[in-house]
A and B are shown apart, each in its own frame.
Chain A
Amino acid sequence: MTGGKYNAVEFEKDAPILVMERLCKSYELGTMELKVLRDVALTINNGDYVAIMGPSGSGKSTLLNMIGCLDRPTSGDYWLGGQNVSLLDDDQLSLIRGARIGFIFQSFNLINQLNVVENIEVPMYYQGFSEHESAKRAIELAKIVGLGDRLDHRPSELSGGQQQRVAIARSLANDPLIILADEPTGNLDSESGLEILKILVDLHLQGKTLIVVTHDEGIAENAGRIVEIFDGRIKRQ
């Protein structure tokens, strides 16, 4: 048994893999309706390196959750890899997340009880990889991000930069359509931040699609495209 069923389709370079149309998200606060995203339209092509920027409270996080299929839009459509994910139920969304999105978080979000290899294996586990297969791939990925000598270390035994590298390896586990990074250098010192940035650029050069949410102008400079969001609308893209 190889990876999830969603990875079966290959997309050509520059094919639109993420399309959002008239996407709205609002929350009800008592009687008030709080509109967080208003008529967002966004297209991201295969192989893009996109930085999403915006001040806090602009709806940046909500957009990120939306892209990551962690949240569903109130209205509008969202096609990810040709599939309208705004219509999917929770189980299907979970599978899509696992198969098509690689998450990199500001605070790494590794599971403390698991070692490096096991952490990288988590997304593969939920896609039904066999133990042998997933362990083999996890070790390869760990080597790619330069942690070949720390396979059985726990997150607590690693530096921040190393932890984020584990997270990057984990995000690559199911060979996702999109790698979604939320302030990937936010918790790191500048040196390890640069290291991480370099890995991300390398991934981009290898043809991966990257969406990075950041305040960091440095990251944004590397990105081929900057999407600015303000007050729930996309201001510039």
Chain B
Amino acid sequence: MFIFRLKRTAKLGIKSLWMHKLRSTLTTLGIIFGVSSVIAMLAIGEGASRQAQEQIARLGSRNIIVKTVPPPEDKDVGSQNESMRIYGLTYLDAERFRNSIPNVEVVVPSRRLVQQAWYRNRKVAIEVIGTVPWYPEISPIQLKFGRFLSSIDMHHKQGVCVIDENVVKELFVFDDPLNQDVKLEGDYYRVVGVVSPANLGEAASAFERDNSKAKSQGANVGNIYIPLTTIKNRFGEISIQFGGGSGRSVERVELQEIIVKVGGMDEVLPTRDILETLLSRFHKKNDYQIVVPLELLKQAKQTQRLFSIVLGSIAAISLLVGGIGIMNIMLATVSERTREIGIRRALGARRRDIILQFLSETLLLTFVGGILGMSLGSLIPFLVTRFGQMPTVITGISLVLAFGISGAIGIIFGIYPAYRAAYLDPIESLRHE
């Protein structure tokens, strides 16, 4: 009985909405845009969040990254241009980490330099990473061809290198890179392996900006890995930087980075504290920075949640505006159809019949708007990803949420006009012209 009533009511609703096609369409548009913007906003927010989390996760959730940072400038010595500043992490630090902290699995020291790499007449900006053979254990890079650096390379300070696929793409357009020679600052290095790009992306490198003076020289294409002993031998540890004016600073840094990997995620934070204590004893100059990807991950999740809430709220407001539009139209419809309401009441319609009639029209509008909005809302993130090169993720929850909200809006904003209609005096409404 009820279902059959509902079916007829819905039919009646469809009919009267169909009679006012333009009005119904315009009203529905509000809901369509509202729902689709909720879905699109949430998808973009979620996409950005996943991307950031992925990038941070690539840094390794069990890793603790200790970086060399220039100590705060001493203004007194600022005038002594020729003096050499010695700071940063040392081989001794790496040794201490390895020997004195019990739950450390791997310690990977590395030096980083921004250089130009040559192959025949091609030249690209790259980052040279001087490191140890077990570097892949703390990095997301994967070996594609050949081999990674070996302990023999280390021991003999060999001129070998492993390059990533981005470098291959730029330097070796058609050639097989294996066993070719790449030139870095006058020396040749034989390519022994190719790895996937480390590709840390923007979010992960954001925290590197502080100490990436060298990077200001320009974006580098990719990484070239050479043995740590080789980089020390061939490039030395002293770098000369030409600052503003006539100033010139000479710096000596042994290691740019030591990455420590611990056994489990729950050991990350305690180990971090031990490292901090240990370092603070030997580095009075505060020339290091400890980065914990796990913490960054947590922070990023929080920030992104906030981001999603803000985006979602803005979209929800547009949904609200759509709802108000619906209410407005339904109120107009009610006063336009006052006479019809009077007729129906005289012919036996109860108040609840009238409420149901008008509410069903509103619900139909929001239902159709919700469905179309969901389709459009799923299309927008697709286009954003396709043409904006931005990752988007449509979650089931956002669809349910948007649809639920539009339904709720239908009820909330439909109920008042419906009540207005139902509580009209039938005698008055019959007289209404």
Chain A positions within 8 Å of B, measured between CB atoms, are 1, 4, 65, 68, 70-71, 90-91, 94-95, 97-99, 103, 105, 109-113, 122-123, 125-128, 130-131, 170, 174
Contacts and interface: CB of A to CB of B under 8 A. Distances in A.
**Prevailing SS type, chain B contact patch:** helix
Interface stretch (B23-31, B66-74, B215-223, B337-345): B337-345
Nearest to A108: B343
Nearest to B349: A126
Nearest to B16: A113
A111 B16 CA distance: 11
Given A113-B16, A125-B8, A128-B1, A174 B348 contact: yes
Given A109-B339, A126-B353, A128-B1, A94 B345 contact: yes
A97 B348 contact: yes
Contact of A91 (B15, B16, B342, B351): B351
Contact of B350 (A71, A122, A126): A126
Contact of B346 (A70, A90, A91, A95): A70
Interface string B308-351: 00000000000000000000000000000001101111111111
Contacts of A130: 4
A71 B347 contact: no
A71 B427 contact: yes
Contacts of A112: 340
B426 interface: yes
Q: Give the bracket for the number of chain B residues in contact with chain A.
A: 20 to 34
Given A71-B427, A91-B352, A109-B430, A126 B347 contact: yes
Contacts of B340: 111-113
Nearest to B15: A113
B198 to A, nearest CB: 68
A98 B347 CA distance: 5
Contacts of B351: 90-91, 94
A90 B350 contact: yes
A99 B350 CA distance: 12
Contacts of A170: 347
A233 B352 CA distance: 36
B19 interface: yes
A127 B350 contact: no
Interface string B348-388: 11111100000000000000000000000000000000000
A127 to B, nearest CB: 6
Contacts of A128: 1, 5
Nearest to A109: B343
Contacts of B4: 130-131
Given A109-B430, A111-B340, A126 B346 contact: no
- List 4 A-B pairs, minimum CB-CB distance, nearest first: A98-B348, A126-B348, A94-B350, A123-B347
Contacts of B349: 94, 98, 126
A196 B19 CA distance: 31
17 contacts: A1-B1, A94-B350, A94-B353, A95-B348, A98-B349, A99-B348, A109-B339, A109-B343, A109-B346, A111-B344, A112-B340, A113-B16, A123-B347, A123-B348, A126-B347, A126-B350, A174-B348
Give the residue among B8, B344, B346, B349 with the most A Cβ atoms within 10 A: B346
B63 to A, nearest CB: 70
A158 B15 CA distance: 21
A103 B346 CA distance: 8
Given A111-B343, A113-B15, A125-B8, A91 B427 contact: no
Nearest to B9: A125
